[in-house]
A and B are shown apart, each in its own frame.
Chain A
Amino acid sequence: MHIRLKIWRQENSQDTGKMQDYALADVNPDMSFLEMLDMLNEQLLGQGQRAIEFDHDCREGICGQCGVMINGRAHGPLKNTTTCQLHMRSFRDGDTIYIEPFRATAFPVKCDLKIDRTAFDRVIQAGGYISVNTGQAPEANSIPVGHPIAEAAFDAAACIGCGACVAVCKNSSAALFTSAKITHLVLLPQGAVEAQERVRHMVDQMDAEGFGHCSNTEACEAECPQQISVLHIARMNWEYNKAQLLKK
């Protein structure tokens, strides 16, 4: 395959940045999208140019690092797929592919396609945990959890923090991400104890980071690689309203 690329280049967080054109020949359709970028980078390094920086780690769809905007869609044209799980066979010979970093005021661009996603970390730090003294691993069956609840909590816990939900949202809302963690913990007996403070602190932090409001467009669920359900957002709203009403 022969492809043309338009890629966002930005030296550092202060730089204004711009889209730059590249061409790549002999792309194998079975390459993953990131392998295609690796190939481009080798070519650039060979020519003595600076490589294009992009985040990645596991390359098997579980770490959530590889988020970029591809042809105007979060993680590319497929629904519910990370960039590393996207292959060049999803494109056609001669295509022009736009690659841009995920955009949100709360996710400043650090360099090229790399963004600063620590806003998510701070939302988790605000309450996405349970306060216990961790000693030895406790006996797994000492706190009974029904199977459907365990499954539901696990579905919510599957969020990999990739930020696609924010990137695709017209309001740059982090509602799906935040609500997944809140729901994960509120479903379980260990998490229910601190449910009220948790939801208030995490929502406050989400607001403080400068994410927008949720308009319930449901674009986030369509792009989320873990198919986190938008009903978690409704659950977060419910828990938040309850916590606000019962607050002492």
Chain B
Amino acid sequence: MGQWTQKTLTRKNWMAFTGLFLCFFLVIHLLGNLQLLLPDERAHLQFNAYSHLLSGNILIKIISWVLYASIIAHVVYAVIITLTNKRAGDVKYHYDRRGEVSKWYTRNMGLLGTIIFIFLVIHFRDFWYVYKFGSLPLDAQGNKDLYTLVVAVYSETWYVLLYVLCMVALCYHLLHGFFSAARTLGVYHPRYVQWIRVIGWIYSVGICAGFALIPIYVHFLK
């Protein structure tokens, strides 16, 4: 057991695996949510039908269990890693300008992650919990009416602002995370390293812009 949890490199592997799984999940999640941008009538029925389809599917069930496990493991390892790092350098410099030689978001993955975590708690409470355990009215096709809930929540200005801010935090987390995960897993060939930087950049901005667009669109146009 020890070799899977004690070694610094192994812990980072788990961070990378779980982080990359979350990255993969975000793609599916975004593609599904983009249906909210369809014209009102279609978006309403199609989004609800899609949500219903997901909640019945065994494959999606498995993915969702891996998702919960990944979030928990990612956060647990983030805490363990952060604490170990604190112990490794417990004496501070009186004058510290080390920040000049690295990017701020690479040094603050824990802070960005904490923002994402708080967001996840709110997000799960508002949608996931209500859908699974709350009592939602049914739509014309007899599916739970998640769509109306989403539109109602996104009509709150403060909520949209908070959502967009969290997406900015996620964007910076991914900007470093995607590339860092590849390093952690051992991609050392200079050519692929360049590609990963570019792909990571496109991925991070694409995902976060996509997610941020939905509440803004719903807020102003629905």
Residues on B with C-beta less than 8 A from A241 are: 9, 13, 185-186
Tell whether, in the assembled complex, residue B183 and residue A171 are in contact, meaning their CB atoms are under 8 Å apart.
Answer: no
Tell whether, in the assembled complex, residue B100 and residue A73 are in contact, meaning their CB atoms are under 8 Å apart.
Answer: yes
- Tell me which residues from 151 to 199 in chain B have a Cβ below 8 Å from any Cβ of chain A: 176, 179-180, 182-188, 190, 193
Shortest Cβ distance from B104 into A: residue: A217
Tell whether, in the assembled complex, residue A206 and residue B107 are in contact, meaning their CB atoms are under 8 Å apart.
Answer: no
Tell whether, in the assembled complex, residue B101 and residue A212 are in contact, meaning their CB atoms are under 8 Å apart.
Answer: no
- Tell me which residues from 64 to 92 in chain B have a Cβ below 8 Å from any Cβ of chain A: 81, 84-85, 87-92
Residues on B with C-beta less than 8 A from A236 are: 9
* CB proximity of A73 to chain B, nearest CB, Å: 5
Shortest Cβ distance from B105 into A: residue: A217
Which of B89, B100, B186: most chain A Cβ within 10 A?
B89
Residues on A with C-beta less than 8 A from B9 are: 203, 236-237, 240-241
Instruction: A104 to B106: give the CA distance in the assembly, Å.
Output: 20
Instruction: A8 to B190: give the CA distance in the assembly, Å.
Output: 41
Binding site of B, secondary structure by majority: helix, strand, loop or mixed? helix
B8 at the interface (CB under 8 A from A): yes
Residues on B with C-beta less than 8 A from A230 are: 183
Shortest Cβ distance from B13 into A: residue: A241
Residues on B with C-beta less than 8 A from A79 are: 101
A72 at the interface (CB under 8 A from B): yes
Residues on B with C-beta less than 8 A from A240 are: 9, 186
Which of B6, B10, B94: most chain A Cβ within 10 A?
B94
B11 at the interface (CB under 8 A from A): yes
Instruction: A19 to B186: give the CA distance in the assembly, Å.
Output: 41
Known contacts A103-B91, A207-B7, A223-B101; is A213 also within 8 Å of B85 by CB?
A: yes
Instruction: A72 to B101: give the CA distance in the assembly, Å.
Output: 11
Tell whether, in the assembled complex, residue B188 and residue A213 are in contact, meaning their CB atoms are under 8 Å apart.
Answer: no
A83 at the interface (CB under 8 A from B): no
Residues on B with C-beta less than 8 A from A215 are: 85, 106-107, 109, 180
Residues on A with C-beta less than 8 A from B135 are: none
CB-defined interface of A1-32 with B at 8 Å, one 1/0 digit per residue? Answer: 00000101000000000010000000000000
Interface size class of A (residues with CB under 8 A): 35 or more
Shortest Cβ distance from B90 into A: residue: A105
Residues on B with C-beta less than 8 A from A218 are: 102, 106
Tell whether, in the assembled complex, residue A103 and residue B93 are in contact, meaning their CB atoms are under 8 Å apart.
Answer: yes
Instruction: A105 to B107: give the CA distance in the assembly, Å.
Output: 19
- Give which listed residue, B7, B98, B186, B190, contacts A168 with CB less than 8 A: B98
B97 at the interface (CB under 8 A from A): yes
Instruction: A217 to B100: give the CA distance in the assembly, Å.
Output: 11
Tell whether, in the assembled complex, residue A72 and residue B183 are in contact, meaning their CB atoms are under 8 Å apart.
Answer: no
A244 at the interface (CB under 8 A from B): yes
Instruction: A171 to B88: give the CA distance in the assembly, Å.
Output: 7
B132 at the interface (CB under 8 A from A): no
Residues on A with C-beta less than 8 A from B88 are: 104-106, 171-173, 210-212
Residues on B with C-beta less than 8 A from A69 are: 93, 95
Residues on B with C-beta less than 8 A from A242 are: 186
Tell whether, in the assembled complex, residue B89 and residue A171 are in contact, meaning their CB atoms are under 8 Å apart.
Answer: yes
Tell whether, in the assembled complex, residue B98 and residue A219 are in contact, meaning their CB atoms are under 8 Å apart.
Answer: yes
* CB proximity of A244 to chain B, nearest CB, Å: 7
Residues on A with C-beta less than 8 A from B183 are: 216, 230, 233-234, 237
Given A100-B95, A240-B9, A242-B186, list of 9 further CB < 8 A pairs? Answer: A73-B97, A171-B85, A206-B8, A212-B85, A213-B84, A236-B9, A237-B184, A237-B186, A241-B186
Chain A: residues with CB nearer than 8 A to chain B? 6, 8, 19, 69, 71-74, 79, 98, 100, 103-106, 168-173, 203-204, 206-207, 210-219, 222-223, 230-242, 244
Contact sample, A vs B, 19 pairs, CB 8 Å cutoff:
A71-B97, A72-B93, A73-B101, A105-B90, A106-B88, A206-B8, A211-B88, A213-B8, A213-B81, A213-B85, A216-B176, A216-B184, A222-B102, A231-B190, A231-B193, A234-B182, A234-B193, A237-B9, A241-B9
Chain B: residues with CB nearer than 8 A to chain A? 3, 6-13, 81, 84-85, 87-98, 100-103, 106-107, 109, 176, 179-180, 182-188, 190, 193
